[in-house]
A and B are shown apart, each in its own frame.
Chain A
C-alpha cells in the first residue's frame, strides 16, 4: 500500500509558485497523516493525526500529557542524512521542553483546556519558523497581505501565493515505520526563539525519538508515478523475488 513511497522524490518546485488559492477557510483540518499550515501561520492537525499520536490536550492536573511535535531542518541535523535538505518531524511528549507544535495551550479556571487541538490553530511557530522553512526548503510561496510600514519603515507589497499547504508525515518507505536513531539519546537542533541568543541554534535532548519526513502534499503527489514503474530483472533470484519466475 505504501509502495509508491519508494518512488517519492522531492521535486524542485521552485518554479511552481504560481498564485493559487487553497479554497475557503472553512475546512481547517486536512485528512490523512497531515498538518495544514495556513498563510497566517496557524496550524491544524488532521483528526487521524490527533488520534495516532495522542495530540489532544488533557486537563491541567492530568497524569497523561499527550504529545506534540518537534520539527527539524535536516540542514541543522547532520545525523539524519536525507541527501537533500528536507523537514522532518518527531512526536514528543508535551511535558518536554521546547516542543514546537501542539506543545501547550491555555486553560480554563477549572483546569480544562480552552480549546481542542483540532481547533486551536496556534500561530507562533508557524509564523516564525515553519512558513519560512517550508518556503525556503520546498520552494513554495505562501500568499502575503500588503503591509503598510509605520513611519520610517518600508512597505511590504502583497505577495501572491498559497493560502495553505498540507504537510504530510511520511514514514520510511522501506519499512512503513518511522526512522529511529541507533541510540536512545539524541540531541536535536532547536532555534532559540527569544533572548540575546535569538536566532542561534542550540540543542534539545530527546529519548528514543521517531522521525517522519515532513513533506508538502503537492511535492509528494507530484512525485507519484502515473503508472507502475517497470522493474528490470537481471537474475533468477530477482525474478523469484519479483514473483515472475516459475516455481519448481
Chain B
C-alpha cells in the first residue's frame, strides 16, 4: 500500500531524485576521459583559446583522482598535449585543399563540415536545453557579420577562409554562451562516447558520423541498460573504439604531422 502523495518528481513533497548515489558526495577529479564510453562526465570548462579554437574540458564527478604512471599516460588517448585526455579541441572547417574539386564540390564540402559541427554541438546542447533555444544554425547567429544574407551571397563568400572562420567563431561563441549555466554542473552529469580519430591516430575525438542514430552523449539519469550511447558497428569495424597506440613505425612516419591534422573537419 503506497500513497500517491509519496510520489516525488519535483520540489514538492519528498523531492525529485536522480538516483545517482555520488551526488551526495560530489567532487571533481581529473580522470582520463578518453576513447570509450565515459560515465559521469561534466563540462569543466568551455573556452575559445588564443587560436580561436573551441576547447572542451571534461571532468568526472564523484571519483577520486587516480594518478597515472608515465607508462599509462603514454597509452592514454589524447587530442593534444594534455595527456589526461580531458580536453578536446573542436576545430574549424577548412577550405578543401583539393585542386580537382569544382566550386560546387568545395561549397558542398564546407557546408557538410558545418552541418557536422552543428550536429555535434547541437547534440551536446540537447542534453541541457530545449530545442527552441538551440539556434546555432539560424542565419542571425551563424552568418552575423559575414556578409551572407541569402543564397547568392552564401555561394559567393563561403569559399573565403576568413568567412569560414567567422562563421565558426559565431557558432562556437553561441555554443559557449548556451552551455555557460551547465559548466561544472555536477547535478547533471552525462555519459560521453569518444572515438579514436582514425586508424592511424589514437587521439580521442567526438564522433561526427551517423550521430543522430548513434548519439555520443546522454544524461547519466538514463539507466545504463537503456543507454543509446554505444559504439556503432561502423565504429567497431573501423577500429574507432580502440585506444591502442599506433605502432612505433607508424608513429615515426606521422611524427611531423601538424596539429591541424587532428581537425575532424579537415579535408581528408
User: Is the pair B7, A82 in contact by a Cβ cutoff of 8 Å?
Assistant: yes
Q: Is the CB of A81 within 8 A of B225?
A: no
Q: Are A182 and B10 in contact (CB under 8 A)?
A: yes
A60-83 contact mask (Cβ, 8 Å, vs B): 1 or 0: 000000000000000010111111
Candidates A173, A183, A203; contact of B228 at CB < 8 Å: A203
When the two chains form their complex, are residues B226 and A202 in contact, meaning their CB atoms are under 8 A apart?
A: yes
A73 to B148, CA, bound (A): 50
A202 and B10 contact, CB distance less than 8 A: no
Which one of B2, B188, B221 lies within 8 Å of A79 (CB-CB)? B221
Question: Which of chain A's residues has its CB closest to B129's CB?
Answer: A184
Residue of A nearest to B5 (CB): A173
Inter-chain CA distance A6–B5, complex, in Å, is 6
Is the CB–CB distance between A179 and B130 below 8 Å? no
A205-B228 Cα distance, complex, nearest whole Å: 11
Q: Is there contact, CB below 8 Å, between B5 and A174?
A: yes
Query: Using Cβ atoms and an 8 Å threshold, which residues of chain A touch B221?
Result: 78-79, 187
**Surface stretch bound by A, among B13-21, B69-77, B90-98, B156-164:** B13-21
Whole-angstrom distance between the alpha carbons of A203 and B218 in the complex? 10
A182 in contact with B12 (CB, 8 Å): no
B180 to A: closest C-beta gap in Å: 15
* Closest B residue by C-beta to A84: B2
- Bound-state Cα–Cα, A225 to B11, Å: 27
**B228 near A9 (CB under 8 angstroms)?**
no
Determine whether the beta carbon of A205 is less than 8 Å from that of B126. yes
Q: Which residues of A contact B4 (CB under 8 A)?
A: 5, 8-10, 82, 86, 170, 172-173, 213, 215
Q: How far is the CA of A222 from the CA of B223 in the complex (A)?
A: 34
**Are A80 and B218 also in contact (CB < 8 A) when A9-B2, A201-B226 are?**
no
- Give A1-35 interface residues, CB cut-off 8 Å to B: 5-12
Give the residues in chain A near B131, CB-CB below 8 Å. Answer: 207
Within 8 Å by CB of A185, from B16, B127, B226, B228, lies B127
What is the chain B residue whose CB lies nearest that of A10?
B2
Question: Is A211 at the interface (CB under 8 A from chain B)?
Answer: yes
Contact for A174 among B12, B129, B225, CB less than 8 A: B12
Chain A residues with CB below 8 A from B14, complex form: 81
Q: How far is the CA of A207 from the CA of B126 in the complex (A)?
A: 10
- Contact (Cβ within 8 A) B12 A79: no
Q: Tell me the residues in window 227-242 of chain B with beta carbons closer than 8 Å to chain A beta carbons.
A: 227-228
**Of A11, A181, A184, A215, which one neighbours B16 at CB under 8 angstroms?**
A181
Task: List chain A residues, Cβ under 8 A from B8.
Answer: 80-82, 179
Distance of A185 Cα from B134 Cα, bound (Å): 13
Asked if B130 contacts A207 (CB within 8 A), the reply is yes
Nearest A residue to B227 via CB reads A203
CB within 8 Å for A79 and B16 given contacts A8-B4, A180-B9, A185-B128: yes
Residues on B with C-beta less than 8 A from A174 are 5, 12-13
Closest to A182 in B: B16
List which A167-207 residues lie within 8 A (CB) of chain B.
170, 172-175, 179-185, 187, 189, 201-203, 205, 207
Seed contacts A76-B226, A79-B16, A81-B14; 9 additional CB < 8 Å A-B pairs: A5-B4, A12-B1, A76-B223, A78-B221, A80-B8, A82-B4, A179-B7, A182-B11, A203-B228
User: 10 nearest interchain CB pairs?
Assistant: A179-B9, A84-B2, A9-B1, A83-B2, A207-B130, A78-B19, A8-B4, A173-B5, A83-B6, A82-B7
19 sampled A-B residue pairs with Cβ under 8 A: A5-B5, A6-B3, A7-B3, A78-B223, A79-B9, A81-B8, A82-B2, A82-B4, A83-B2, A86-B4, A172-B4, A174-B13, A179-B8, A184-B130, A185-B126, A185-B128, A185-B130, A187-B219, A203-B227
